[in-house]
Amino acid sequence: MSNSKFDTKVQELKYEVLKQIIEAYDKGDMSNIYMDIPKSISPGPKPSFRCCIYKERAIVQERIKLALGGNKDNPNIVEVIEAACDSCPISGMYITPACRGCIVHKCKEACPKDAITIVDNKPVIDMDKCIKCGRCAKACPYDAIIEQSRPCIKSCKVKAISMDEYDRAKIDNDKCIACGACVYNCPFGAIVDKSYILDTLNLLKESKEKGTKVYAIIAPAIASQFKPATFGQLVTGIKKLGFSKVYEAALGADITLYKEAKEFEEKGLMTTSCCPSFVMFVEKNFPELAKYISSSPSPMVETAMFLKRKFPGIKTVFIGPCTSKKLEYRMDKTKGAVDNAISFEELQAFLDARGVDLLTLEETNIDEASTMGRVFAKCGGISADITKLVKGEKKVEPVAMSGIDDIRANLLKLKFNKTTANFFEGMACDGGCLNGALSLHHDNIKNSVEIDRYSNAATYKDIDTAVAWYEESLKENKE
């Protein structure tokens, strides 16, 4: 296996499992995947990523379960592979060797719980008393005290991850917003997103057998992935997988912009609805602010709704960088507009399983979306666009929020009337969708440059054409 297509070995392992499942599906025999795939990935006799080949194979078997949809009784899109969890002992304040054993003992004086004692002129922390407030670390003149946290807990900004009785990661579904930060940041790959790739395979099989058409809807963040293939080659590659047509979710973003501008003119204060993890964060942590969430569906849903009005009887599959989109498309409020959702990681496995070499393909041009819709992949894109579209006396004072910490800080200001902002753009992933948890790679600067290039290449520079198509589809649907 080569990890040149991905940031991490964990992504590579997930990819290999998915790829072999798709290959087995295409051969028409999946009866032995729980035996064959683990042995293929961990042939032995020496282990390649855990203590022994037997544990490696057991973990791969659990990965196969998640690749086939995971625990049907668990509504969350993210699950923990208990066998893969390292039960990391790292948690709490830690005194490093940088401690000089000074005589001032500022750390001890700063502790509000008297958790620090001095033994042989060195501080010792009583972890039973420590509340991890960090005051001792701030007080230390040598920066010799640090807080160590499990990567999954550190990455989860909504505090949905804790430890069970065996110190394994445990997810609180009531707090989780399906952002996928823990999926990308767990060094052992013990937290994984469920895959519904089989549903996509079945849709495409049915399309081939019965003639039903399946349209792919691609997130604008895709323009920063799958390099060095061009965007046009990628579109051709997706069609070779069996999709009848490929449309940009940026087309739905144009429609969303149109609707949100109108809605803002009426409300004068609102938040975006494009990122489902952001919407869930508001609903779960700031329920009193939920009334400000835009009533517009997300660009993914808007695109699918438009296509199903325009082409009755089709099926739609969204392809994007998000864990939360896999949750959103199954929500009642989306009204079945999207029939399935897969990630960029899953698309890479799909392409490779079927031997689609993007670099050898001709380009297929798709150019329905505007520059304004395509830039939705970047944090700040919506805010920049909405200020150009809103008319009337109420001036837009936007704030673009990237990452949960930034979102929380700005929503607290809104909650307590400490802000002049009246339009709140929220994206759970740092930098926006271009850094989605299920992207192939997460180079914020490079990805941002690629999104700008993709956006500027659009023929349409404003949303007028998309809005005309949207209104025409509504009229046709009524008729």
**pLDDT given at position 479:** 63
DSSP string, 200-265: HHHHHHHHHHH---EEEEE-GGGGGSSTTS-HHHHHHHHHHTT-SEEEEHHHHHHHHHHHHHHHHH
pLDDT tens-digit map of 274-299:
999 999 999 999 999 999 999 999 99
Compute CA distances 291 → 324, 410, 474, 477, whole Å: 21, 16, 27, 30
* pLDDT tens sequence across 348-397: 999 999 999 999 999 999 999 999 999 999 999 999 999 999 987 889 99
Confidence of residue 92 (pLDDT cuts 50, 70, 90): confident
pLDDT of the residue at 476: 81
Q: What is the mean pLDDT of the chain?
A: 94
What phi and psi values does residue 271 have, to the nearest 5 degrees? -120, 160
Q: Name the token pair of 428.
A: 């759970």
List of residues 6+ apart from 91 with CB closer than 8 A: 148, 149, 150, 153, 163
Assess whether pLDDT exceeds 70 at residue 1. no
Q: How many residues does the chain have?
A: 479
- Is the model's pLDDT at 83 over the cut of 80? yes
Under the phi-then-psi rule, with left for phi > 0, alpha for psi from -120 to 50, and beta for the rest, what region is 87?
left
User: Quick one: pLDDT at residue 335?
Assistant: 92
Cα 142 to chain centroid distance, Å, stands at 38
CB burial of residue 34 (10 Å; 0-12, 13-18, 19+): middle
* Close Cβ partners of 27 (under 8 Å, ≥ 6 residues apart): none
Residue 435 above 90 pLDDT? Answer: yes
Cα gap 160→79, rounded to integer Å: 12
Handedness of CA 288, 290, 293, 295 (dihedral sign): negative
Helices (H) and strands (E) in the chain, counts: 19, 15
The pair of structure tokens assigned to 62 is 């659990």
121 C-beta neighbours (distance < 10 Å), count:
11
* Residue 87, pLDDT score: 87
> Two tokens at 76?
């969350």
Look up the pTM and report it: 0.92
Tell me the sheet residues that pair with 169. Answer: 163
pLDDT over 50 (residue 313): yes
Identify the pLDDT of residue 2.
Answer: 43
Give long-range contacts, CB 8 A cutoff, 24+ apart: 205-208: 207/242, 207/244, 207/315, 208/242
User: What pLDDT digit, counting tens, does each position of 8-28 carry?
Assistant: 999 999 999 999 999 999 999
pLDDT tops 70 at residue 256: yes
Residue 25 CB-density burial (10 A; 0-12 exposed, 13-18 middle, 19+ buried): middle
Query: Above 80 in pLDDT, residue 89?
Result: no
**63: nearest Cα among 138, 10, 141:** 10
Identify the pLDDT of residue 454: 95
The percentage of residues in the chain with a pLDDT greater than 70, rounded to a whole number, is 99
Cα distance from N-terminal residue to C-terminal residue, the chain: 54
Sheet holding 315-320, edge to edge: 245-248, 214-218, 315-320, 340-343
Predicted confidence (pLDDT) at residue 439 exceeds the cutoff of 70:
yes
- Distance, in Å, from the CA atom of 376 to the CA atom of 370, rounded to the nearest integer, reads 11
Q: For residue 283, what pLDDT is reported? A: 97
Give the helix ranges, DSSP H, for 245-355: 249-267, 276-285, 299-310, 324-328, 344-353
Q: What is the pLDDT of residue 191?
A: 97
Nearest to 255 by CA among 289, 217, 214, 223: 217
Share of the chain above pLDDT 90, in %: 91
| 3-class secondary structure, 93 | strand
State the burial class of residue 322 (Cβ atoms within 10 Å of its Cβ: 0-12, 13-18, 19+). Answer: buried
Average pLDDT on 444-472 reads 94
Are 323 and 174 spatial neighbours (Cβ–Cβ below 8 Å)?
A: no
Residue 461 confidence class, pLDDT cut points 50, 70, 90: very high
Beta-carbon contacts of residue 416 (< 8 Å; ≥ 6 apart): none
